[in-house]
Structure 1
Amino acid sequence: MRLRPDQLQQNLSKGLLPVYIVSGDDTLLVQECCDPIRLNCRKQGFSREILHVDASFDWNELLASASAMSLFSERKLIELRMPTGKPGDAGGKALTEYAANASPDNVLLIICNKLESSTTRTKWYKTIEAAGASIQCWPIDARQLPRWISNRLNMVGLKADNEAIQMLAERVEGNLLAAVQEIEKLRLYTNADIIDADTVTAAVADNARYDIFGLVDRTLQGDSKGSLKMLQGLKAEGTEPPVLLWALSRELRTLCQCAEQVEQGNGIDRVLQNQRVWDKRKAITKNALQRLTTKQLQQLIKTANHIDQSIKGMSQDNSWDLLEQLVATMAGAKLAIKH
């Protein structure tokens, strides 16, 4: 079956399905869709195993994990993290076999980035839908964002006027994870009954000497010295690498899509409009596209994937060193990227 994210809780109240596939480009939306599934499994005594799919992944591991008994529980949640959503022939066969013979003692949770429409028509995907549920997390667009922020403020007991909400929406520019962080800052910063624009401005000034958005903008502007200084400042302030990588990867994917469309002969202004680049960021985005080719951007995306592996402990490289190389190269510095 296909479920919307807002239908998941009601469906879970009827019991766990043997397999779920959750997809989407927004980290927060995907995470908050997966969390109720994890919580229900934990309440019912499931153990948890995480499998990361990359080019060298052995799909026999999935079937072996499903049949192996846990030392701590007879029931198991298997999280299959498959960012590309493309398992290949071997993976497709393994997923089809798993879904067709799903055990009631296990739950398989497949987590992907946004899927292409062709993927949802494959045999393995349809078999999973037939055995369990697919949930696609669509991004919150610019028109929906103020209402989303207002609802999120209400969830933590805060209220804000329209000007303050609009200011927050413009600041986070569609990054929901950043929006949640800004709301948490406001919750800690103020006791006001209703938050206004002055409160938002004061909280931002008080909390953020260095911020992730400033780092991304500096890299797009080609300011390698300034962006590296901001990266060190964020590190010193305790910012976690996954948050930085998410923001940089998101920008790289947008740039790469823009570059590919421009190479196909599309006008850059129309391309930026189609990619929903905010007006005030069009100039710096154009700057980056003039400096970075499609091939370079594709290489930077591969580097970002390598950093993700290092953060997850799948690589011995230091994630902060790799982030420094990524930021410098995005900003135009001539550093060699090591893999």
Structure 2
Amino acid sequence: MELTPERLLAQLDSEALRPVYLIAGPEPLRVLEAADAVRAAARKQGIDEREVYEAEGNQREPDWNALSGAFRAPSLFASRRLIELRLPSGKPGKEGAEVISDFCADPPHDVNLLITAGEWSKQHGGKWSEAVGRVGHIAVAWAIKPHELPEWIERRLRARGLRADRDAVQSLAERVEGNLLAAAQEVDKLALLSDGETIDLERMQTLVADAARFDVFRVLDAAMNGQGGQVSRMLAGLRAEGEAVPALLGMVVMELQRTAALARVNARGGNINAEFKAQRIWDSKQPMYRRALQRHDARRWEALLAQAGRVDRMAKGRESGDAWVALERLLLAVAEPRALRLLAVSGA
């Protein structure tokens, strides 16, 4: 049976653990939380032993022979085990499909299987996933569409014991612009700051501004929009609040990778609108990226991405230099081409 992740959570509260679960989809937060719910249900039902199988090193697939053997081998430490199979591509291949199908045909009484995948589409399914559906549950975490986001936020607010009116919810939805992780973080902050009253639009804007006035999303938006002064002010605020460069750098790298991909498509005269869709960039954010693409060509975006690697090495002590200064110079260069002289960027 195919469920939404949220529906799966309700099922876990009302039934015994199924032999197998497949949780997949392009929305990482929903996949993660649904998988965490399965793990929690397993612990609640006395399953404390967990084994994880995934591709390691240069391997493209998990060790299927080892996984098959684990299904039949008795546990040395517990009466029941939860075995996790991680398939980032969502495709187990012929051998993996056979192993999964064999498990579903005759599930061991002492093993529950949790399969997670970061990609999913109609082409990913097959006899193996049909076998999962017959004895277990399939939960697909599709990306939340723009018109669905306010409802998703409202459900999450209610789950945290919060109430907000429609305008307040819409304001928060517009702020996070499709980023569920950012939305979840904002809701968690609201739970700490709220006084228990219904949150109206004015209160929402005040709470959100107080909770995240210097967050990394806004720093990146300032850089992409060419607002160098804002970049320096916000980074100073983050540093003063005790943030660490590595905690910020993941989002910076992701944004540079995304923009570099757009720049490559733009350089070869490709369909930039299709690339926006592929990158899941909302209509409201596209003008910001178009402005950024006018400031730097594809080669320079690649060079800026390489500079992020230098910042990372500085933050980890593998290269001399002040990581905060390097990060500020990198984002200033994103914002203002004249700031490129601060960097050793080839072709700048």
- TM-score, length-normalised on structure 1? 0.73
Q: 1:250 to 1:132 in 2, by over 3 A?
A: farther
Please tell me whether the aligned partners of residues 53 and 63 of structure 2 are also in contact (alpha carbons under 8 angstroms).
Answer: no
Please tell me whether the aligned partners of residues 220 and 284 of structure 1 are also in contact (alpha carbons under 8 angstroms).
Answer: yes
Q: CA RMSD in A?
A: 4.5
Deviation at 1:253, TM superposition (A): 7.9
Alpha-carbon separation, structure 2, partners of 1:194 and 1:319: 47
Alpha-carbon separation, structure 1, partners of 2:98 and 2:198: 55
Alpha-carbon separation, structure 2, partners of 1:223 and 1:60: 55
Deviation at 1:16, TM superposition (A): 2.0
Q: How does 1:96-175 map to 2 (within 5 A)?
A: 96-121=101-126, 123-175=127-179
Q: Tell me whether 184-193 or 279-288 shows the greater mean CA deviation.
A: 279-288
Aligned to 2:202: 198
Please tell me whether the aligned partners of residues 210 and 234 of structure 1 are also in contact (alpha carbons under 8 angstroms).
Answer: no
Q: What letter matches 1:37 in structure 2?
A: V
Deviation at 1:221, TM superposition (A): 5.5
Alpha-carbon separation, structure 2, partners of 1:259 and 1:2: 38
Deviation at 1:238, TM superposition (A): 5.0
Please tell me whether the aligned partners of residues 167 and 200 of structure 2 are also in contact (alpha carbons under 8 angstroms).
Answer: yes
Unpaired runs of 5+ in structure 2? 335-339
Q: Tell me whether 62-71 or 149-158 shows the greater mean CA deviation.
A: 62-71
Q: How does 1:1-339 map to 2 (within 5 A)?
A: 1-9=1-9, 11-12=11-12, 13-46=14-47, 47-54=49-56, 55-56=58-59, 57-121=62-126, 123-191=127-195, 193-217=197-221, 220=224, 226=231, 230=235, 233=238, 237-238=242-243, 245=250, 247=251, 267-269=271-273, 271-272=275-276, 277-287=281-291, 291=296
Residue 143 of structure 1 aligns to a residue whose secondary structure is: helix
Please tell me whether the aligned partners of residues 212 and 244 of structure 1 are also in contact (alpha carbons under 8 angstroms).
Answer: no
Please tell me whether the aligned partners of residues 45 and 73 of structure 1 are also in contact (alpha carbons under 8 angstroms).
Answer: no
Deviation at 1:335, TM superposition (A): 7.8
Please tell me whether the aligned partners of residues 88 and 116 of structure 2 are also in contact (alpha carbons under 8 angstroms).
Answer: yes
Q: 1:181 to 1:11 in 2, by over 3 A?
A: closer
Deviation at 1:22, TM superposition (A): 0.3
Residue 107 of structure 1 aligns to a residue whose secondary structure is: strand
Alpha-carbon separation, structure 2, partners of 1:79 and 1:232: 41
Please tell me whether the aligned partners of residues 5 and 31 of structure 2 are also in contact (alpha carbons under 8 angstroms).
Answer: no
Q: 1:165 to 1:81 in 2, by over 3 A?
A: same
Deviation at 1:185, TM superposition (A): 1.6
Deviation at 1:257, TM superposition (A): 7.5
Q: 1:8 to 1:50 in 2, by over 3 A?
A: same
Q: What letter matches 1:106 in structure 2?
A: V
Alpha-carbon separation, structure 1, partners of 2:19 and 2:72: 14
Identity in percent:
34
- TM-score, length-normalised on structure 2? 0.71
Unpaired runs of 5+ in structure 1? 308-316
Which ranges of 4 or more aligned residues in structure 1 deviate by more than 6 Å?
Answer: 222-225, 239-244, 323-327, 332-336
Aligned to 1:314: none
- Residue-pair matches, total: 320
Deviation at 1:149, TM superposition (A): 1.7
Please tell me whether the aligned partners of residues 19 and 136 of structure 2 are also in contact (alpha carbons under 8 angstroms).
Answer: yes
Q: Which structure has the greater CA radius of gyration?
A: 2
